[in-house]
Amino acid sequence: MANYFSILLVILTVVTGLVWLLDALFWAPKRKAAATGTQSPELPYWVDTSQQLFPVIAFVLVLRSFLYEPFQIPSGSMMPTLLVGDFILVEKYSYGLKDPVARHKFLETGTPERGDIVVFKYPESPNIDYIKRVVGLPGDTVVYQDKQLFIKPKCNGDNQTQCNKLRPVPLEFKSRGEFVQRMAPLLRFTEDLGATPHDILRHPTRTDRTDRYYAQPGNRSGQWLVPEDQYFVMGDNRDNSRDSRFWGFVPDANLVGQAVAIWISFEFERNAEDLIPTWVPTGIRFNRIGGID
């Protein structure tokens, strides 16, 4: 849907801009020459409408395609960092500028860092936007076993003996029971990927094998080597996230941008028997508005 909206914006911008240009170069002089007296020639409705819409649509197109785009969080896979009802801003220029139709990158501006929260086109269905946290960079070795994340960064030196070894990502228990999933109080930990520490959730009883982490072909040991120009991503709600453990890596070409802020957050705590539809918000979580870790 997001890509269709971008295409629609491009079409509207081109059409209204073309009408404005043709009127300025050809139609307006003809109307002026055909006018009699001092009265200004009447501007056709469709030309007037195009002239008013063009700057607005062009501004939205530039803002949405190259600067910031709003997204809504539809699921709990990124809890506790992002909740259902959060509306976020995604910085589109973080990882390169792309044209809004073919999404071809024409200007390099940066690459994801370990720990970034990124929006990307789901590799198995590019019309769907996903949001996850970058865990593995190109060349990294990523291991996830017994709910513990291990990372061996890419070795950039010629001497392999000086390369970093596989190490567990630091994890510190924080709380229990703030979030509940399937009648079980989730465990909250603070994880440190090397940038800003962030919190994750783990289910106390669900196991790796129960979640079929080993079902992905070629990764029965729970170990992945991240290819060049691709990224390994995971949800912060580790036992309720369908991510790279299941479907593989995110190509650089699929990146949309970096999630940088929550601009509004709605609550949807409504009982099924209520007359008001469940999609109508019940309140605003003002304390969640701001930057994203």
> Based on the domain organization, do 155 and 40 belong to the same domain?
no
Q: Which of 41, 66, 91 is the last residue of a domain?
A: 66
Distance CA 33, CA 20 (A): 18
**b/e code 205-215 from CB counts within 10 Å (16+ = b):** ebeeeebebee
Q: Are residues 7 and 110 in the same domain?
A: no
**Weakest-pLDDT range from 49-58, 89-98, 100-109, 153-162:** 153-162
The answer to whether residues 60 and 151 belong to one domain is no
Distances (CA, A) of 111 to 33, 78, 198, 257: 56, 21, 20, 10
Is the Cα torsion angle 287, 264, 261, 203 positive or negative in sign? positive
Q: Are 230 and 115 in contact (CB under 8 A)?
A: no
Residues 178 and 60 in one domain: no
Same domain, 139 and 188: yes
Does the annotation count 152 as an active-site position?
no
CATH number of the domain that 200 lies in? 2.10.109.10
Residue-level pLDDT at 214: 44
Same domain, 223 and 284: yes
Q: What is the DSSP letter of 36?
A: -
Last residue of a domain, one of 13, 34, 66: 66
On whether both 178 and 264 belong to a single domain, the answer is yes
In the structure, what pLDDT confidence band is assigned to residue 2 with cuts at 50, 70 and 90?
Answer: low
The verdict on 239 and 260 lying in the same domain is yes
> Pick from 220, 247, 11: which is nearest to 128 by CA?
247
For residue 28, give the 3-state DSSP assignment. Answer: helix
**Helix 45-62 crosses helix 2-22 at what angle (to 10 degrees)?**
130
- Angle ∠(203,205,209) on CA atoms, nearest 5: 95
**Active-site residue 132, yes or no?**
yes
Element housing 4 (H / E): helix 2-22
Look up residue 63 and give its DSSP letter: I
Q: What confidence score (pLDDT) does residue 218 get? A: 42
Cβ(241)–Cβ(234) below 8 Å? yes
Catalytic pick among 92, 121, 132, 152: 132
pLDDT in tens, 100-124: 888 899 999 999 999 999 999 999 9
Q: Say whether both 78 and 62 belong to one domain.
A: no
Query: Residues 144, 278: one domain?
Result: yes
Catalytic residue among 6, 65, 77, 94: 77
Residues 84 and 119 in one domain: yes
* Buried b / exposed e along 59-96 (16+ C-beta atoms within 10 A): eebeebbbebbebebebbbbbbbbbbbbbbbbbbbbbb
146, 209: one domain: yes
Please tell me the distance from the alpha carbon of residue 93 to that of residue 286, in angstroms, as a whole number: 27
Q: State the residue range of the domain holding 15.
A: 2-66
pLDDT for 162 equals 59
Instruction: Compute the Cα dihedral for 30, 33, 36, 38 and give only its sign.
Output: positive
**17-72 per-position pLDDT tens digit:** 999 999 999 888 888 887 766 667 788 889 999 999 999 999 999 999 899 999 99
Convert the pLDDT of each residue in 70-88 to its tens digit. 999 989 999 999 999 999 9
Question: pTM of the entire structure?
Answer: 0.85
Number of domains in the chain: 2
Name the domain boundary from 66, 100, 115: 66
